[in-house]
Structure 1
């Protein structure tokens, strides 16, 4: 289905309930999103959060007090964030050692930049 969507020129796709309530289904969907990340922006929404791959330079507004997790797929390096309670300054995340879960925005605008690798952002409901 995503190949057809790409062929028809769509660049933005919202997926509702992408986790399917099953962890294997969720991981499978993330793997598909990774395969298509350079062809389209796939944004997943479920009852807990929205999540998607972000570009190397990313800014999101209107997020104060929201939970923000940064998850490496499978690694990301040279990460600098602004506007988060626990900022990173030229940090690294790896799926096998350190991940950036359960942080939260202390400012209305959060910026994230990284050099290499891939990052998923999970934007949760209000944290505080």
Structure 2
């Protein structure tokens, strides 16, 4: 099963419609706040709607819009997307793709990127995806293989997260061998895959991996 979490920052309803409809796996859709309006507009029905509904233009949805509605107190310590992610960990299996979580307010985007680390702690693969970007995070001892003909966009950029990281990158235009990345520079921005498969191996630390288009 693949779980889709849909936030408010959807710029293109056709993009959302295509991502949801092209999934070959069984799907479970969690809509966050205004995200439920986007899911309905894309011709789908959320399995769960969760949020404080402070951004939804139509207010709290009617019960007919969803199998389950979870109303959150607007005075809380986590965002609607984090609450949805925790719900997904407890009630679903398989990969989780978060849509509509990038763009708009920078603080929200950075907060949503930080949520990728929750997936590592839970042993679940979590992606942040929009029209031109797919982000994921790997931890120490993990190896990520990206097939050139399946990559998302043209470029692959990596960033150490929450401290330094020791990284080996093979199959890239600019390879690395046990390189210690400490951030505060743009050394690992806009790399390109040159082999059939590219491999990112992480010896220690956390690494944010961004597949990006133009």
| Pair 1:24–1:118, CA change in 2 (3 A) | same
Higher strand share: 1
Residues 20 and 97 of structure 1: CA distance in aligned 2, closer, same or farther (over 3 Å): closer
Other-structure match for 2:18: none
Q: What is the CA distance between 1:47 and its match in structure 2?
A: 2.4
TM-score by length of 2: 0.53
Contact 1:78 1:91 in 2 (8 A): yes
Q: Larger relative CO (CA 8 A, sep 6+): 1 or 2? A: 1
Is residue 166–residue 181 contact of structure 2 (8 Å, CA) maintained in 1? no
Q: What does residue range 14-33 of structure 1 map to in structure 2 within 5 Å? A: 14-33=97-116
- In the alignment, the residues of structure 1 paired with residue 115 and residue 210 of structure 2 have an alpha-carbon distance, to the nearest angstrom, of 17
Q: Tell me the distance in 1 between the aligned counterparts of 2:138 and 2:95.
A: 13
Residues 19-59 of structure 1, C-alpha deviation per residue, up to 9 Å, x if partnerless? 14221111010122223322121111112211111352111
Taking only aligned residues, the RMSD between alpha carbons, in angstroms, comes to 2.2
2:126 equivalent to 1:38: no
Number of residue pairs aligned between Structure 1 and Structure 2:
126
Structure 1 stretches of 5 or more lacking a match?
Answer: none
Q: TM-score normalised to the size of structure 1?
A: 0.84
Answer whether contact 1:68 1:101 (CA < 8 A) is retained: yes
Give the whole-Å Cα distance in 1 for the aligned partners of 2:212 and 2:199. 16
2:131 aligns with 47
1:87-118 deviations in whole A, cap 9, x for unaligned? 11110112335652111111231101121101
| CA distance in 2 between partners of 1:93 and 1:105 (Å) | 20
- Moved runs in structure 1, 4+ residues, more than 2 A? 35-38, 74-78, 95-99
Say which of 88, 97, 100 aligns to 2:188: 100
Return 5+ residue gaps in structure 2 as ranges.
1-83
Distance 1:51 1:19 in 2: 10
